[in-house]
A and B are shown apart, each in its own frame.
Chain A
Amino acid sequence: MAELNISKEDFLKFREFFYRKTGIQFDDSKRYFVDRRLIERVEATDSGCFRNYFMMLRFEASGDEIQTLTNLMTVNETYFFREEYQFQCLINSILPELVQHKKDKSPIRIWSMPSSSGEEPYSIAMYLLEYWACINQWDVEIISSDIDTKILNQARRGSYSQRSVGNLPKSLLTKYFTPSGSEYQICEDLRQAVEFTRVNLMNAADVRGYRGFDVIFCRNLLIYFDDLSRRQAADTFYDALHPGGFLCLGHSESMSRISSLYKARKFPDSVVYQKPTEAS
């Protein structure tokens, strides 16, 4: 059998299509990475060549293959301080703007979803305690949700591998974690700072009560949804946010492709999406 090759034309055609579908952009330096994965899927689907595979990918009614490929093209891992620039954006831009417009001293509410094993909500908690000067003037609630009850229990336990905490500054690792065998146990104060709840984002009954949030983190989840589910998620977040509230997506995700209701805000650290202040 002849060795499969992805030509430059194939790569460009695929890159254009994949960007339009997912918002994920591959520059030329990622050519090898993309080619390897495309070849893997051409073989796995018995397509024989790129052209057959691309036609199947593009026109398959179920959209299963584009999902499989998206999973393969994205790095599905979580760790503390992942995409830290968004936490910097939170304290440098989002929170100052929110508190400036807040009419009362009610708590600032942050929803982080999916919680996965808890790295993101605990990172937010740590970031606020360490780097937000106004933490002593405001109450902050952090709620974190996931559809998977097993992963929620793991998040509540707060025990992490070396790889999970590898990105943390040593001082924070020492301050907030205790080594326990090969794991690191997060401290009780942080465990008590986050409420974990089970939510299926696609279930209207589950999400109906989630309202009045000032900031929502939903990073690297929507890329795994089909187009309709993305729209439903965008609608859910819209209803969950206060007018003027902010939505933070993953680096490869863009709300502009999903919904026109949010205003893209370009802050020095990151682009985030805001529910219009005049919205109901």
Chain B
Amino acid sequence: MALVKKTTSEVVDHEERKRKRDCGSLAHQLCDPDPATRRWAARDLADCPEASSVLVKQLRREMDASVREIILTTLTQRGDEEAVAGLIECLRSEDASLRNEALEAMKLLPAEVAPIMGGLLSDPDPDVRIFAVNVLESLRHGKVEEWLKEVIESDPHVNVCATAVDLLGEVGTPFSREALENLKARFPDQPYIRFAADIALKRILAN
């Protein structure tokens, strides 16, 4: 017993693929009882045209976290309209893990998410609007401050504004100064809003 060395060809598992890798078969394998088979199918579907719809469908019913994660990775990699729409739908899910996972995936798609951000920020459901602000937190896009300013100027829900003002503490510039002042007047009975707006203003003025 000791350190043993194998050749490169022995190191790698050369087991023949047991299942077909064409797009139709892969879509079918997404429903296989074995999670490992579903994971590999989800990964290999990355290159199949029109795979996003089957991946999204599976994502919503998939119970195994490891499969769900790889489906999300593949959807992020694809980043097409159907993938983004599927991720947005997940924001409305009752499943908190799925919502958070979708949110994290959306943060990786700034160019794809930007065109629909306005719609998300005016969604009738305040929770979806909060998730949208959460997406902005790590979205690398030039309009982030503008979106946040619009939120604190017009969103009627205090929790949505509180989420936005926290973020403005980091990304705010003099562009948002007046809106931050006005926000305190919009929610005079909310000490947290005053506190967070003052911190954001302090940071802006420090520069």
Contact = CB atoms under 8 A, between A and B. Distances in A.
Contact of A9 (B108, B110, B206): B206
A235 B70 contact: yes
B12 A210 contact: yes
A9 B169 CA distance: 11
B14 A139 contact: no
Interface residues of A, number: 52
Contact of A139 (B2, B13, B35, B40): B2
A17 B170 contact: yes
Given A61-B110, A135-B1, A228-B108, A260 B65 contact: yes
A141 B207 contact: no
B8 A261 contact: no
Interface string A128-145: 110000011111111100
Interface string A83-95: 0000000000000
A59 B6 CA distance: 47
Most chain A CB neighbours (cut-off 10 Å) among B11, B34, B101 = B11
Interface stretch (A39-47, A73-81, A176-184, A190-198): A190-198
A275 to B, nearest CB: 9
B13 A61 contact: no
Contact of B69 (A143, A208, A259): A259
B150 interface: no
Interface string A39-73: 00000000000110001001111010000000000
For the complex of A and B, 8 pairs with smallest distance between CB atoms: A209-B12, A193-B3, A9-B206, A209-B13, A280-B35, A280-B36, A211-B13, A139-B4
Given A9-B206, A51-B207, A192-B5, 18 more contacts: A13-B203, A58-B140, A63-B140, A107-B4, A135-B3, A140-B2, A141-B4, A141-B11, A142-B5, A193-B3, A193-B5, A195-B7, A204-B43, A204-B46, A227-B108, A228-B108, A260-B101, A280-B66
Interface of B: 1-8, 11-14, 34-36, 39-40, 43-44, 46, 65-66, 69-70, 72-73, 76-77, 97, 101, 107-108, 110-111, 138, 140-142, 144, 170-171, 173, 203, 206-207
11 contacts: A16-B170, A135-B3, A136-B1, A139-B1, A140-B3, A193-B5, A227-B107, A227-B108, A231-B72, A231-B73, A260-B69
